[in-house]
Amino acid sequence: MTHFPKWIVDEVRRNKAGLRGSAATGTAAELAARALHTVCDEARCPNKGACFAQGEATFLLLGDICTRNCGFCAVKKSIPLPPDTGEPLRAAELCRKWDLKYVVFTSPTRDDLPDGGAGHFAAANRLIKKLSPDIKTEPLIPDLKGDIKALEIVLASNPDVLGHNLEMTAGLYAGARAGADYGRSLSVLANSKKLRPDIFTKSGIMLGLGEEPAELERALADLVSSGCDLLTLGQYLPPSKSHRPTAKYYTEEEFAAWGDKAKAAGFKAVLSGPLVRSSYRAGLLYAQAAGRR
C-alpha cells in the first residue's frame, strides 16, 4: 500500500484495527455459521473492520461469483452455483438476532438467471421485514439486464430504498465495465421511480478512475434527471495490482466540494468522502432524506 497517499493508508489501518476486537470476531463467526457472504469480504472493503466492530455488514446474496468482468472489482469471476433457496431466511434470521434497524443486501451480477436474481432479492426483503417489522431495507441490485418485470418483482417486496450503482462516468464504461451500459443503469433508477415514486432510489460513483470534472458533473445531472434521491461518492482503490489502477487520489476537501455540488444538483442526501462506499452509513443517509420528505 506504499503507493497510496499516507492519509488513506492511516485511515485503512485504523479501520482494520477494528477486526481485532471481540465484536468483529463475533460478527465474522455469525456470518460463517450461516454460510452468508458479505460484500465487505468479497469486495475487500476498507471499512470492513469499522463496520464489523459495530455488528454491521452488507450481505452478498446469490453467492460470491459474478458473471461479468469489471476491471475495478475484486468479486470472483466464473460460473456461479444455482441460488441457495435457504439463504434469504438465514439472512433474515441474522438481521433479527443482531436487532438491525437498517440493512443493505446486494449480489454479484447474475446474468445466468432468467430474472437476474430479482426473485431472490424479493424473497430476502420479505423475510427480513417479516422477522424484523421495524427494519428499513435497501436492496442494492445489479442492472437485471434492464428487465422492467424483474425490477417490478423487487419493488413489489416493498423495500425502503432501491439501490443501483452507476459506478463511474459514461466515458469509462467501455474500458472498465464489461457487459454494463451507462444508459441502462440510469433506466433502472428512472423506471424504479416511475413504478414506485414512494421508494427512495440511490446510486454511487467511484472517483479516481480517470473521469474529467465535466464528465462527473454530467453524471450527477443524469442521475438527478433519472429521479435518483440518494448518492454516495468515494475514492476508487484498486483491490490488487492486477485491477484497474487509480488515476487520481482526491483530497478530503475535493470530496467535500463534490458533495456540495451534488446537493446543489438536487439530490435529497449525499455522502461524500475517500472511504465512503455505497452501503456505508446507509441508515444515516436514508434518515437525512426521510427527514427532508
Residue 39's pLDDT is 61
The three-class DSSP label of residue 48 is helix
Three-state SS at 17: helix
Residue with cell 445531472: 221
- Average pLDDT (241-260) is 92
Q: Tell me the mean pLDDT in the region 202-226.
A: 97
Torsion sign over Cα 31, 68, 164, 262: positive
Higher pLDDT, 106 or 15: 106
pLDDT at 1 (0 to 100): 40
- Residue 260's region, left for phi above 0, alpha for psi from -120 to 50, else beta, is alpha
Q: Return the residue matching grid coordinates 489502477.
A: 245
Helices (H) and strands (E) counted in the chain, each on its own, are 12, 10
| Mean pLDDT, range 238-244, rounded to an integer | 80
Interval 110-138 mean pLDDT: 97
Q: Do residues 199 and 230 touch, judged by C-beta distance below 8 A?
A: no
Assign 13 a pLDDT band (cuts: 50, 70, 90): low
- The pLDDT of residue 14: 55
Tens of pLDDT, residues 52-86: 444 456 899 999 888 888 777 767 778 899 999 99
Mean pLDDT on 240-262: 92
**118: pLDDT strictly greater than 90:** yes
Give the confidence band of 42 by pLDDT, cuts at 50, 70, 90: very low
Ranges of beta strands (E only) in the chain are 37-38, 59-60, 65-66, 76-77, 102-106, 136-140, 161-163, 200-207, 230-235, 269-272
On the question of pLDDT at 103 being above 60, the answer is yes
Which fold does the domain 6-292 belong to in CATH?
Answer: TIM Barrel (3.20.20)
Cβ-contact 269, 39 below 8 angstroms: no
All three cell numbers of 245, joined, read 489502477
Per-residue pLDDT reduced to its tens digit, 172-201: 999 888 789 999 999 999 999 999 999 999
Contact 28, 56 (CB under 8 A): no
Short-list 40, 42, 56, 48, CA closest to 20 = 48
